[in-house]
Amino acid sequence: MHGIDNIFAMEHQYFKRDISWLSFNYRVLLEADDDTLPLYERINFISIYSSNLEEFYKIRVADHRAIATGATCSDEEDVQDAIRLVEDINHEVNRQMLERIRIYEQKIIPALRRAHIVFYQTPDVEPEHREFLKRFFHEEIFPYLAPVPISRDRVVSFLRDNRLYLAARMKPKGPDGVLDSMPFEYFVMKLPYTKVPRFIQLPSIGRDYYLMYIEDIIKANLADIFPGYVVDSSYCIKISRDADILIDDTAGTPAIIEQVKTKVKKRKIGKVCRFVYERAMPSDFLQALTDAYGIHHHELVPGDKHLNMEDLRHLPNPSPALLSAREPQPMKLSCLDGRESIFNYVAQHDLLLYYPYHSFEHFIHMLYEAVHDPAVREIMLTQYRVAENSSVINTLIAAAQNGKRVTVFVELKARFDEENNLATAEMMKASGINIIYSIPGLKVHAKVALILRRDARNHRLTSYAYIGTGNFNEKTAMLYADCGMYTCNPVIVNDLHNLFRTLCGKQSPVFHRLLVARFNLIPELNRLIDREIELAKNGYGGRIILKMNALQDPVMIDRLYEASKAGVNIDLIVRGICCLIPGQEYSRNIRVTRIVDTFLEHARVWYFGNGGKSKLFIGSPDWMRRNLYRRIEAVTPVLDPTLKQELIDMLTIQLADRRKACFVDGQLHNVWKSSNPQKEIHRAQYDFYTYLKKKQEDTSDSTSL
């Protein structure tokens, strides 16, 4: 059993949000410890773990540090709480770092060696490689190195965000060797792996392939960089800087656009929130660096001998014997192939697609059909995160050029996608698409599209709505497990039209079936929970299953506690943050399942038993304060009995997972559902793919008959 240390106190029946997130990220790291996974998939999970942690420090920890230093808060109690939280975070990250080192050094590196890949971890190499490395260093690396001397008394170089630097200390040579009487001198140089790859493949020897970090090559040749010195030691360092930017969206669209253009650039020069260093660095060496760069003690985070492990996703695989993971390949439904009309199909049946098991090309196909259908007058869509060179955007541009009225709501405040969203918005606007930008005080997170059709007399024809759980991004649709519903239900279509008119500024909309955050979502959730409480109290067995990415809102957590105390049987499938504490007297009927596997579980699916007449919903929001109260989110009921059963089957398959599913217990431990999960066969993502594939085959067989 693995988990968070018991030092973390629980407050008011909720886990701390950031400590819960660390529990999730630790579960990601445990995938690298799974010997049954393909080796490079395990390596990639170390990369994902490290990348997640980098963003966590740049956003969440940076915010806590600002409070802890009094920069954004003057309340002494809040300052002390922030100081303690940062200490707790660093304590847990340090504990996890030791586990990451164990997995990497004792599991991954030996496994590579058994596969005849020797991944050098120090500057020491086989004699056969010394001449190659000497030549490679001087020809490919040395021209890009620019050592800079540092000390407390001189102006030091600026350390860029998330870039790797090598710090070296040395003493000058005298006629008789090193001048021991002289103080150490310190130099810092940026690793040039924008010019040279981080990982270098060396010549093979016999059956063995060889890889090496670029910093180890530099360390092996430091004497050539500093010919007048005797090098004492060298270690890598990196800085993480505050990447959160505050956009004042009350000043109107032109001001928002200008802020995005200017403030995004400031991410690279934000305040230091983490100074990571090789943990083997001597204390006096570290002190010299912190003095020179003005680093505070609470910003220090020890790392492994190699930093920036997120780069491992680029580790070359020179061995043809090491195959990549055999991931499920997206299916194209026979009923929606290139010869058939999606409009005609959805006019007869609601359609629910599950990505990446189903192909996202079906959504592109629907847009293409809208481009060429004379009856389509208008296309409306929300953009939160889209792929570069997006097929979705290109198709919308084609629609506008074909005479359709196209309206796209672009959320400029989507973190880390601000620049891409602005660039695509400007491209769409230049092509004749009507662009609506961010709403003051809100983010629009809904994943919705609407296709409106009219006849020659302007009478409404069958129109189509799409409500999904994931972004309109064909690249992430290959990685994220999401779902989306296509429907021509006139009530849902009209509700969605009202939502888009709301985004355009219309006031006081009415929604009849669609649930929209900040309008009717919370009242309906309360009504649904009340119904299950009533059933349980009357002996009819209330039942709730909620699948989402994060559960943090204390108001909704309290409602679940209330339902549990009333006897409602509750299963939560929460991938990431879960502030609800299971296993307590007030939560005795609640179980929390966490699934981490090949694909990122991203769908939001809610089931309410309703006394045997189940109600199911899919949509964009997690149960976090920001989603429920400060964003525009859209949730649709799933009304078709066949599609409802599909969702129930999916939830059942996920709850039955014994391979990649953990319980999250009352101490934030990731508790495997099986005593030996690596030998279990029930693996939800692959089982659900098999389930969908069989349905596809059964449908094809019945059609052919």
**What is the chain's alpha carbon radius of gyration, rounded to the nearest angstrom?**
28
Which positions ≥6 away from 460 have C-beta within 8 Å? 452, 453, 454
**By the 8 A CB rule, do 334 and 359 touch?**
no
For the chain, the first-to-last Cα distance in angstroms comes to 52
- Cα-flanking dihedrals φ and ψ of residue 269, to 5°? -120, 20
With both helix axes pointing from N to C terminus, report the angle between 554-565 and 521-537 in degrees, rounded to the nearest 10: 10
Report how far residue 670's alpha carbon sits from residue 25's, in angstroms, rounded to the nearest whole number.
Answer: 11
**By the 8 A CB rule, do 506 and 650 touch?**
no
**By the 8 A CB rule, do 666 and 584 touch?**
yes
Reduce the DSSP state of residue 167 to 3 states and report it: strand
Which positions ≥6 away from 623 have C-beta within 8 Å? 546, 548, 550, 551, 552, 553, 556, 557
- Report the largest interatomic distance among the alpha carbons of the chain, rounded to a whole angstrom: 99
Report how far residue 334's alpha carbon sits from residue 339's, in angstroms, rounded to the nearest whole number.
Answer: 10
Report how far residue 19's alpha carbon sits from residue 583's, in angstroms, rounded to the nearest whole number.
Answer: 18
Which position has the token pair 């939280």?
85
Query: Regarding beta strands 376-383 and 447-453, do their DSSP bridges make them parallel or antiparallel, or are they unpaired?
Result: antiparallel
What six digits make up the tokens of 528? 């649904």
- Cα-flanking dihedrals φ and ψ of residue 349, to 5°? -145, 140
CA-wise closest residue to 632 among 534, 500, 540: 500
Distances (CA, A) of 556 to 218, 520, 523, 527, 531: 54, 15, 11, 12, 15
What is the dihedral sign for C-alpha 129, 132, 134, 137? negative
Which positions ≥6 away from 378 have C-beta within 8 Å? 404, 405, 406, 407, 450, 451, 452
Distances (CA, A) of 628 to 253, 458, 475, 518: 24, 37, 27, 7
Reduce the DSSP state of residue 257 to 3 states and report it: helix
Report how far residue 28's alpha carbon sits from residue 575's, in angstroms, rounded to the nearest whole number.
Answer: 10
Is 445 one of the catalytic residues? Answer: yes
Query: Regarding beta strands 480-487 and 600-601, do their DSSP bridges make them parallel or antiparallel, or are they unpaired?
Result: parallel
Active site residue: 64, 362, 365, 445, which one? 445
DSSP 308: -
Which position has the token pair 């929300």?
382
**By the 8 A CB rule, do 47 and 312 touch?**
yes
With both helix axes pointing from N to C terminus, report the angle between 361-372 and 391-401 in degrees, rounded to the nearest 10: 10
Residues marked as catalytic: 445
